[in-house]
Amino acid sequence: MIRCSHMSEKRRLVLSSVVRVVLVALGALGPLGVAPAAAQDPDRTTELGNVPREDRKTVDPEGRCDALTLLFYPDTKCEKAAESETASGIQDPSREDLIAAAAYAWQLPLWEAAEAVLNGEELGIGSPWKPQWQFYPAAEGATLATVTIPLDRSLSDGERVVAMLRRDDSEEALVLGNEDFPFATRKTAAGVLAQASRSIPPGRYVGVAGLATDAGEFTAHFTENAVIPRIGSDQLRVSNVVIAESLEQLDTNVPPGPFRVGGFEVVPRASSTVRHGESLRIFYVVLGAAKAESGQPDVDVTYQLYAKNPGDLAAGWQKVARPVQAEHQTALVRAWELPIVAQYPETDYKLEIQVKDNHSGTSASQSVQFAVAKP
């Protein structure tokens, strides 16, 4: 243990003892639940991005052909109009025509906002949002991207969260907030969270998000240059760790969607501060683990807790408990909970997760930081 000049030996022993007892008890119980099939089945992973509503029209009934029409009716079979057609008197549809043709009245204002950002224009942003992204591998090289947005209020009737991702080298647009890829909301202790998920090709995008109404009004609350990474599963790695407000194991037949991944409902915590009497709940996925002939992985998981000395934060991280190990695990989708009792000093903490693949001999790690405070 690194020497701590301002934390008494008695206090360190108490903290170490408390953490060790809690972690050992949790280690005996194991993870909250697992659903490895849900995480490894590529059909379930990509279902979120590939299943349209059966009752939605995806072909333009009027046979129009332009970028916006293809956005609203993606299965329309057509080619871009030749210059001779434009010269012969065929006119592009008006803005009113496009809005009338759209499945949602807010799609065109959202498109125009994304177009403005692509052109280097600044949008008037009021009450800016701070989205959080999580990424998981999907089939055909795509990435299952989940975006969580803390809201400052509940949504009114006829109001919804919408978002669009655009590339500067393509007129293709990826929409979140429609019926196929909706934003769902959850009320938490810190406010309201909105979340949507979709399989997205990796790359660089311009992202725009905001509030839209059924009448077609759109107010931007967020713009960014978003990078959707490629999440490979060809080598051992640990996904980003989600600090959760709540974790609930679902039926393995429940498909992925907003707040649902790997057979769990995962509601992220809006803040990384955990108070005495609450629990630190985490969710993560082990990726790229080798499998035996039986098809089963075999990994060892080690949890190590670190803390900073409240009297000397610059001293760095110090181990405050013995590591807790879970050996020969076959579950790759993992959830874990640690009660934060009153003996935890109010300071910054780091939980380090080490994973060893017993089939390949490789190792990977990930960590998550949090703070402890009084109620």
Q: What are 81-114's pLDDT values in tens digits?
A: 444 344 444 455 555 555 555 678 898 899 999 9
Q: Is the pLDDT of residue 23 over 50?
A: no
Least confident of 12-16, 73-77, 200-204: 12-16
For range 323-351, the mean pLDDT: 94
pLDDT at 41: 37
| Cα–Cα distance measured from residue 151 to residue 123, given in angstroms and rounded to the nearest whole number | 19
One domain, residues 74 and 18 = no
One domain, residues 164 and 299 = no
pLDDT at 196: 97
The answer to the question of residue 249 being in a domain is: no
pLDDT at 123: 86
Q: Is the pLDDT of residue 324 over 50?
A: yes
Q: Is the pLDDT of residue 53 over 90?
A: no
Q: Is the pLDDT of residue 52 over 60?
A: no
Q: What is the CATH number of the domain that holds 207?
A: 2.60.40
pLDDT at 279: 95
pLDDT at 56: 52
pLDDT at 171: 76
One domain, residues 153 and 202 = yes
pLDDT at 82: 42
One domain, residues 92 and 137 = no
Q: How confident is the model at residue 27 (pLDDT cuts 50, 70, 90)?
A: very low
| Cα–Cα distance measured from residue 262 to residue 284, given in angstroms and rounded to the nearest whole number | 9
Mean pLDDT of the chain: 80
pLDDT at 335: 93
Which of 102, 117, 134 terminates a domain? The answer is 102
pLDDT at 169: 81
For range 328-337, the mean pLDDT: 95
One domain, residues 110 and 62 = no
Least confident of 44-58, 123-137, 171-185: 44-58
Burial of 362 by CB count in 10 Å (0-12 exposed, 13-18 middle, 19+ buried)? middle
The answer to the question of residue 253 being in a domain is: no
Range(s) of the domain holding residue 292: 9-30+272-373
Q: Return the sign of the alpha-carbon dihedral for residues 284, 362, 19, 330.
A: positive
One domain, residues 118 and 129 = yes
CA end-to-end span of the chain: 29
One domain, residues 289 and 312 = yes
The answer to the question of residue 167 being in a domain is: yes
Q: How confident is the model at residue 251 (pLDDT cuts 50, 70, 90)?
A: confident
Burial of 94 by CB count in 10 Å (0-12 exposed, 13-18 middle, 19+ buried)? exposed
pLDDT at 236: 96
One domain, residues 77 and 195 = no
Report the relative pairing of strands 363-373 and 273-275 from DSSP bridges: parallel
Q: Which residues contact 91 (CB under 8 A, 6 or more apart)?
A: none
| Cα–Cα distance measured from residue 286 to residue 238, given in angstroms and rounded to the nearest whole number | 5
> Is the CB of residue 158 less than 8 Å from the CB of residue 32?
no
- Number of domains the chain is built from: 3
Q: Return the sign of the alpha-carbon dihedral for residues 3, 8, 10, 16.
A: negative
Q: Which residues contact 78 (CB under 8 A, 6 or more apart)?
A: 63, 65, 70
One domain, residues 51 and 190 = yes
One domain, residues 147 and 210 = yes
Percentage of the residues of the chain whose pLDDT score is greater than 70 = 73
Q: Is the pLDDT of residue 349 over 80?
A: yes
One domain, residues 354 and 324 = yes
Q: What is the DSSP annotation of 123-190?
A: P--SS----EEEEEE-GGG-EEEEEEEEESSPPPTTEEEEEEEE-TT---EEEESSSSSPPEEEEETT
Q: Which residue has the higher pLDDT, 208 or 23?
A: 208
C-alpha pair distances (Å), 264 with each of 32, 182, 331, 335, 371: 10, 18, 13, 9, 25
The answer to the question of residue 311 being in a domain is: yes
pLDDT at 1: 34
Backbone angles phi, psi at 150, to 5 degrees: -70, 130
One domain, residues 52 and 179 = yes
pTM, rounded to two decimals: 0.74
The answer to the question of residue 143 being in a domain is: yes
The answer to the question of residue 281 being in a domain is: yes
Three-state SS for 194-254 is EEEEEEECCEEEEEEEEEEECCCCEEEEEEEEEEECCCCCCCCEECCCEEEEEEEECCCCC
Q: What is the CATH number of the domain that holds 345?
A: 2.60.40.10
For range 29-57, the mean pLDDT: 38
278: closest CA among 246, 255, 302?
Answer: 246
Q: How confident is the model at residue 72 (pLDDT cuts 50, 70, 90)?
A: low
Determine which helix (DSSP H) or strand (DSSP E) holds 72, and give its type and residue range.
helix 67-72
CA-CA-CA-CA torsion for 83, 85, 90, 91, nearest 10 degrees? Answer: -10
pLDDT at 285: 95
The answer to the question of residue 110 being in a domain is: yes
The answer to the question of residue 352 being in a domain is: yes
Reported as a single tens digit per residue, the pLDDT across 149-179 is 999 999 999 999 999 999 878 778 899 999 9
C-alpha pair distances (Å), 135 with each of 39, 111, 144, 198: 13, 24, 6, 10
Which of 228, 262, 283 terminates a domain? The answer is 228
Q: Which residue has the higher pLDDT, 88 or 245?
A: 245
Least confident of 141-145, 200-204, 251-255, 307-311: 251-255
Kindly state the DSSP code that residue 80 receives in the 8-state scheme: P
